[in-house]
């Protein structure tokens, strides 16, 4: 029963994280894909937020902001631009824009 409760809680957290995703970038270098995402922790608010970086070795939070609006968006964009200097081709993830228009 405890396993079912844990799985349900993780599923609910994953769904809420997806619903609160902000802008994101997909960066490709050959078959290597990386994703930079802005995640909002409160519905309808742009802060608090996090910049989450996903690559084949795992996922990590790079930056957080509690009060400064636009901070996470600026950091995500700048990091996507930095990826280009490493040979990655980055573009805005249009699927995150569609999710945010609801």
- Structural domain for 47, as ranges: 2-100
Q: Over the stretch 41-81, which tens digit does the pLDDT of each residue have?
A: 988 899 999 999 999 999 999 999 999 999 999 999 999 99
Helix (H, G, I), strand (E, B) or coil at 24: strand
Token digits of residue 6: 């844990």
> What's the pTM value of the predicted model, to 2 decimals?
0.72
By CB neighbour count within 10 A (0-12 exposed, 13-18 middle, 19+ buried), where does 35 fall? Answer: middle
How many structural domains does the chain have?
A: 1
């Amino acid at each position: 029963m405890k396993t079912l409760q844990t799985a349900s809680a993780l599923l609910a957290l994953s769904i809420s994280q997806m619903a609160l995703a902000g802008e994101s970038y997909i960066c490709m270098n050959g078959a290597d894909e990386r994703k930079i995402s802005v995640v909002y922790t409160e519905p309808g608010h742009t802060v608090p937020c996090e910049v989450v970086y996903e690559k084949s070795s795992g996922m990590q939070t790079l930056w957080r902001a509690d009060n400064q609006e636009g901070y996470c968006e600026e950091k995500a964009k700048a990091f996507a631009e930095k990826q280009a200097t490493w040979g990655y081709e980055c573009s805005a993830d249009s699927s995150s824009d569609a999710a945010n228009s609801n």
